[in-house]
Amino acid sequence: MSDFSATIQNADWKTEKHAPVIDAPDSVKADEFFSITAGLGKAIAHPNTVQHYIAWISLYFLPKDAKLPIQLAHAEFKAHGDSVTDQPGPALTNPSMTANVKLAKSGTLQAVAYCNIHGVWQSFKAIQVEA
């Protein structure tokens, strides 16, 4: 049996609709709040249907020289056009989330997203924290 990490997929979000996009500054001031957005569909739209959708996105921070990441935020997306008829339902969620955080040291932001058909995808973004 393969371990879970072997099933996580990577790709450039500019060419792969399943790879999450992390929008955050390249550098921030220490201990000041700023916004991070993680989502899909910035360059290539991901379907959002009953049959094919992004169920959740989690955002993590791995401090420089740390072994384990810190979970910053998690969002679940529940409305995928579900309907009791053959027509699309009245509500859709866009797989995007924003978290306001402050960091004390530099490190790497990590986003992980789950597609119900194509599995788990991840992406990374380095972030510099200045005193």
125 is an active site residue: no
Q: Are 82 and 128 in contact (CB under 8 A)?
A: no
Of 76, 80, 102, 115, which residue is the catalytic one? 115
Catalytic residue among 14, 29, 52, 78: 52
Give me the catalytic one of 14, 17, 29, 76.
17
| CA 25/CA 22 separation, integer angstroms | 10
Neighbours of 85 (CB within 10 A): 6
Is 46 a known active-site residue? yes
- Name residue, tokens 């955080």: 101
Select which of 14, 76, 80, 118 is catalytic.
118
Residue 32 annotated among the catalytic residues of the structure: no
Return d(Cα 102, Cα 28) in angstroms, integer.
9
Query: Out of 14, 16, 42, 130, which one is annotated catalytic?
Result: 16
Q: Which amino acid is at 58?
A: S
Q: Are strands 9-10 and 119-130 parallel, antiparallel or unpaired?
A: parallel
Residue 74 bears catalytic tag: no
C-alpha closest to that of 22 among 102, 110, 84: 110
76 is catalytic: no
Name the active-site residue from 29, 42, 46, 125: 46
Active site residues: 16-18, 46, 52, 115, 118
